[in-house]
Structure 1
């Protein structure tokens, strides 16, 4: 997913994260400076629905204006043949089975 908050805000004449934060506070969404900075400068890892609603209300936009799907970034599905070879324990590189070595002796201290 691509996060387009800055573009959506710029289209409405909002150029600073602090201005956006004030507008959100006027709508009842208090956001810390750090969180607003993270949302302004990067892609959020977590975004609550009420935050998304507040952004849309302040900017007068739809969710599609804030978030763009990027399906081409999703890895292609694994072929069924590859899955059966991995399940059988085959090594695709050398064509041999990998067996773990037995543990002997004492364990290592924690790092």
Structure 2
């Protein structure tokens, strides 16, 4: 996720964490200056939903304005990989043959 707090704040002429703290106080949200600075300076690891709601109320924005989905690099490379049929060998391209069963039968049910 991309954290866009500074961009949303800049669109409302808020340029410093202290200014943001003042705007947050107007909606009844009084975090410490260190918490506001942490939200301001980078992408937070966690944000409480209640806090997110108050930030949106103070900045007159939506959650979609504050956060933007970004695909992870490892997920994008997975989509580019060649799709192959299950059971095929990547080196030969032929299907893997099943091994015949040993004739044990079905498993019993687990104990109660």
Q: TM-score range by the shorter chain?
A: 0.5 to 0.7
1:56-95 alignment runs, 5 A limit: 56-71=56-71, 73=72, 75-76=74-75
Per the alignment, residue 94 of structure 1 pairs with none
Structure 1 residues 41-52: aligned runs within 5 Å = 41-52=41-52
**TM-score, scaled to structure 1:** 0.65
State the 1:57 CA deviation.
0.8
Q: Counterparts of 1:32 and 1:70 in 2: how far apart (Å)? A: 29
Q: Cα RMSD (Å) of the superposition?
A: 2.0
2: CA distance, partners of 1:12 / 1:26:
15
Contact map agreement 2:26 2:58 (CA 8 A) in 1: no
1:13-35 deviation per Cα after TM superposition (whole angstroms, max 9, x unaligned): 11111011111112111111111
Question: C-alpha displacement at 1:75, in angstroms?
Answer: 2.2
Aligned to 2:7: 7
How many residues align? The count is 80
Match of 1:29 in 2: 29
Runs (4+) of structure 1 exceeding 4 A deviation are none
Aligned to 2:74, the other structure's residue is in SS state coil
Alignment of 1:91-106 (within 5 A): none
Larger Rg: 2
Show structure 1 runs of 5+ residues with no match: 82-111
Deviation at 1:55, TM superposition (A): 1.1
TM-score, normalising length: structure 2? 0.64
Unaligned runs of 5+ in 2: 88-112
